[in-house]
Structure 1
């Protein structure tokens, strides 16, 4: 938190002021220092800068301050030595000694009180940490890092409910400032929302996090955690597994098995078969694994029948009085990765009505995205509300990522003939 050099005003004065000089610093304390003290302080400062802790310790131990400024300088040097040694307890004690003097520059006092709060937090004195942060705030230090530190203190005190508003405030302030939010801050906020059972915020925070940190591993972590939400619809789960696969984020036997089982449960036998085959190709599933071997045996003949029945089902859906049959046909095309045909049927279902518009628009958006119509996908996903809103939200993040990749693709130029 604190780097060597924070007390440069004291050190500079100690190493350059003539003996018994007495004058106000440009923006700080009155400097009163003897020649012998100045020489010892200079030697200690040089040793610290050289990384020689033993020599610095010997010089600092010999300091005998007689003025307020000398006491401030000696405490500052003890702090610098403690920073060199990475001794947080000694840093905190040195700060207390500095606060006992009247020579702490007013412009530094607010930040120093915040640092005192941080160091008290590090050494486990949480009540003092909060008191120091309160003091810093009265002096005008109310930066976002102080807000997040309050949250961390309450977490250490096992008061997650008290911590959560501070994390939310810190994120809001960071966003408003235009500065990037660190992955660690998102993770804290997600953890607290998860503990509170606020799955709407869990989903929202994960989506925001993925817009900034969108590797395959981060997609898997986000979706796997969100899939643990209680009472989540199996069809919603299926589309989240599809998103995980689209991101190349299928990383374990559990991923492939869970996806295949959901697809089979939805009657998407060809999709279940394809997922098991993909899992085996990746080495995450084996042919001897009992659960998926049994599932593969069951879905293989059903997959062939599913595909063969699709043309007749599509013809029947066209003449149906509502969109239920077209929606079912669209889902079948979707499960077969025949996305243009799926999109056509989703539009038909929506035009006929009598269906779950949230589901139809969500899957229309996904089908368009997988077909390459990213603008159309975004528009369809924006229409989704209700139980399918989170699915649409996650897929919208994926669409945005694909749009950025497309925007940055180099344009091929044919060589001059």
Structure 2
């Protein structure tokens, strides 16, 4: 019975070429660059497939020497042959695009990525590489859609998004003045990377948004403090100044004292020393006036007075009382409902009602939506802590 011939094309190499190529390959694998270089230089390909093998060895040699330019040239030599396997061609075209990017040939890099895409290679790495190419070409507006696309595709895949991708997207949104996206990206980043340092970085950068009203800024500083992310004299000083500007004298006094206790402020630091002298007598009066103010708010025709009383209780970290007054203010109306619901949600969460806090924050729209969003991330983190350790319920000190 005749022996059946093997299926598929038969690869032809002369015996001498095969022997020389195997010796070169062995030298590369052994890390013997000098020997490998000499053996590769001696190769004399006489067929298309031998030319492909020789180019492949030159590529491996260039990888060994970390010579990106030589890697790119070797790939071009491989593409000149008709022996590149069809299954490898799409990925190799992407690699060619990457190498052209590395050596600074950005137009060719884009052309190779386009070619790879026509062959079926359209990975997220190619999308991010396009973004990097346009950044190198100083075209951030062209780069940004590709970064956004890469993040969307990574989310859809269920794979984690690297912190560096968030940082790139945030810096582009920042440069474009798209503060809505800056806030959204920072909040998403904080759901994955939630250390005190990450919180400080996100909030401090977001606080530079132009036109942000002082009450909004105050609640973001409060969030920074809630995360244990107060790290500098500037942090404590700015928080105290915003609290004083809002009429929250006891809160301003407390944050200065906390800054001094943490070693970030000194008693002789001019700005906060002056502020401390001013707010100390006012804080006592503010606290003493609260019971009468609450009684008056109960009979007021709208919720303005109740909102002011709620804000005072909130600033004193008396969150259950603040919840009661925010609800009264909302029921009476005539107030900024987004501000009231934001602080109601925070006060509920700080009182330990995490689900109630999240529900209140979900009702917030407009300029307060980003504040509510950041605090919602904090609530989610507290909820995870409680789930992991039910005995450690959220508290004002959390």
TM range (shorter): over 0.9
1:310-356 per-residue CA deviation (whole Å, 9 max, x = no partner) reads 11111111111111111101101111111111111111111111110
Long gaps (5+) in structure 1: 1-22, 413-417
In the other structure, the counterpart of 2:97 is: 117
Q: Using a 3 Å threshold, how does the CA distance of structure 1 residues 47 and 233 change in structure 2: closer, same or farther?
A: same
Residue of structure 2 equivalent to 1:222: 202
Give secondary structure in 1 for the equivalent of 2:11: strand
1:39 aligns with 19
1:137-176 equivalence runs, <5 A: 137-176=117-156
Spell out, residue by residue over 1:13-45, the C-alpha distance to the aligned partner (whole angstroms, 9 max, x if none): xxxxxxxxxx9996xx75221222222222222
Which residue, 350, 359, 381 being the options, matches 1:401?
381
Residue 350 of structure 2, aligned match among 370, 374, 387:
370
Tell me the distance in 1 between the aligned counterparts of 2:267 and 2:6. Answer: 82
1:361 to 338, 341, 350: 341
Partner of 1:32, secondary structure, is coil
Cα shift readout 1:49-99 (whole Å, capped 9, x = no counterpart):
222322222222222222211111111112112222222111111111111
C-alpha contact (below 8 Å) 1:117/1:130 kept by paired residues: yes
Distance 2:157 2:307 in 1: 45
Q: Which residue of 2 aligns with 1:187?
A: 167
Trace 1:80-95 onto structure 2 (pairs within 5 A). 80-95=60-75
User: Which aligned runs of 4 or more in structure 1 are off by greater than 4 angstroms?
Assistant: 23-26
Tell me how far apart the structure 2 counterparts of residues 39 and 288 of structure 1 sit (CA, whole Å): 82
Number of residue-to-residue matches in the alignment: 388
- Does structure 1 residue 313 correspond to structure 2 residue 293? yes
8 Å contact from structure 1 (residues 48, 81) kept in 2: yes
TM-score (norm 2): 0.94
Answer yes or no: is the 8 Å Cα contact 1:268–1:335 preserved in 2.
Answer: yes
Does structure 2 conserve the Cα–Cα contact (< 8 Å) formed by 1:339 and 1:367? yes
The corresponding residue for 2:80 is 100
> TM-score, normalised on structure 1?
0.90
- Does residue 383 of the first structure (1) align with residue 370 of the second (2)? no
Distance 2:303 2:390 in 1: 42
What displacement does 1:410 show? 6.5
Shift of 1:180: 1.5
Say which of 41, 44, 51 aligns to 1:61: 41
What is the RMSD computed on CA atoms of the aligned residues? 1.7
Task: Output the CA distance in 1 between the equivalents of 2:324 and 2:6.
Answer: 80
SS at match of 1:284: coil
Aligned to 1:8: none
Match 1:209 to one of 177, 189, 197: 189
